[in-house]
Every structure is written in structure tokens, then in C-alpha cells.
Amino acid sequence: MKIDPANLNRKEAHELLVGAVLPRPIAFVSTVGPDGVFNVAPFSYFTAMSTLPAVIGFGVGPRTGGGKKDTLVNIEYAKDFVINVVHEALAEAMNTASGEYPSNVDEFQVSGLTPVHSDLVKSPRVAESPVNMECRLIQILEFGEAPRVNSFIIGEVLRVHVKDELLVGDVIKASRLKAIGRLGEDLYCRTMDIFEMKRPQRPF
């Protein structure tokens, strides 16, 4: 079968991409709005983009029916955000936070999570997350046309908080982190079925 995404409706195109691009890491993004209300929400269009400088990016779609999600509004205001890694113990709270709530609702309270002060940014960290990345906004790219504009947010990682028990030397061990990934439909995966392949040696 050959499929041209431009010929699909939004739901069909979404299902095609999320069914093929997987597993996807989850950016559990915490922010603060101009009214001081905290927000935390998961996004699975998420990737690392550069090592030095440390740069990450994640995609934010519009609200149902159009308009900006609170995460995007807050980042435009504060010019910063925190990426919190989701492990197995955080899965249920992350799923609860994924709902569309009014802007005056604090998803930390709804999902039973604990906000803690960051060192270098205004946005809070999720205390229950094993890894937090404090980020400063670099750029927001936009795709599509109003009211259904999709945004890709790019930020520089200023500081990373890692639970000590995850580290062996300076390496975060995947077997200890137990991160989860996003699949298509309502499916997730664990990162416990792991295998190793050594990369080919360079000829020089």
C-alpha cells in the first residue's frame, strides 16, 4: 500500500505517523503560566537534537477544536520549561495529566505529583521523575495553518537532575531508569527487553 499523508484527514495522518514512528520517548513537560499556575503534560513527539550545546525538541499540537495548549502558552510567556523523564512508576500520573483541563487547573494537583523549584528556570520540576532537564527556550517552529497550527519547541538544556541510583560512573543505565515509551493507539512499552550491538570500528 502507498499512502500520501496530504490526502488524509488529521486523525488518519496522526494514526499513520504514530503507528510507524515508535517507540517514542515521552517528554513530560512542566511549565508555569503568567498567572502562576503550574502545568505538566506529556508529549511523545520528542527528541535530542544536539550534544554540545545540549538541545532537545518536542512537538505540541493544537487543542481539540483549535487554539494553543497551555504548555505552549506558558513557554511563550516564561521562555523556559522542564523535561521530566517518565518511568514505569510515573505512568499512571502521566496519563492522568494528559487530559485537556481548563487553563486555571494545576495538573500537578490533579495527578498527585509534587512540584519542586528548579535551579535555573522559573518552571517547576516533577519530584517523582528520575531525570529532570531544565531548559531555556531557543526557538518555536510552526507548521500548518490556523486554527490547527502545530508547534515544535526547541530548548537548550541548562541543567540535568539525575537520581544517584541510576548512575554507573557518568552513565545513566537504562535497566535502572525503566523509562516507558509511547506506541500507537492507547499503547505504551517498557524498556526492559534490551539487546546490545557494538558499532563497527572506524577504519581510521
CATH, residue 51: 2.30.110.10
| 203 lies in some domain | no
| 117 lies in some domain | yes
| 64 lies in some domain | yes
| 201 lies in some domain | no
Tens digit of each residue's pLDDT (9 = 90 or more) over 61-97? 999 888 899 999 999 999 999 999 999 999 999 999 9
| 193 lies in some domain | no
User: DSSP assignment of the chain, as one string?
Assistant: ----GGGS-HHHHHHHHHHHS-SEE-EEEEEE-TTS-EEEEEESSEEEEETTTTEEEEEE-PPTTSS--HHHHHHHHHSEEEEEE-BGGGHHHHHHHTS---TT--HHHHHT--EE--SSSSSPEETT-SEEEEEEEEEEEEES-TTS-EEEEEEEEEEEEE-GGGEETTEE-HHHH-BEEE-STT-EEES-S----PPPPP--
What's this model's pTM, rounded to 2 decimal places?
0.95
Count of the separate structural domains present in the chain: 1
| 194 lies in some domain | no
Which residue range(s) make up the domain with 84?
Answer: 24-187
Tens digit of each residue's pLDDT (9 = 90 or more) over 160-187? 999 999 999 999 999 999 999 999 999 9
| 136 lies in some domain | yes
Tens digit of each residue's pLDDT (9 = 90 or more) over 101-157? 999 999 999 999 999 999 999 999 999 999 999 999 999 999 998 888 999 999 999
| 124 lies in some domain | yes
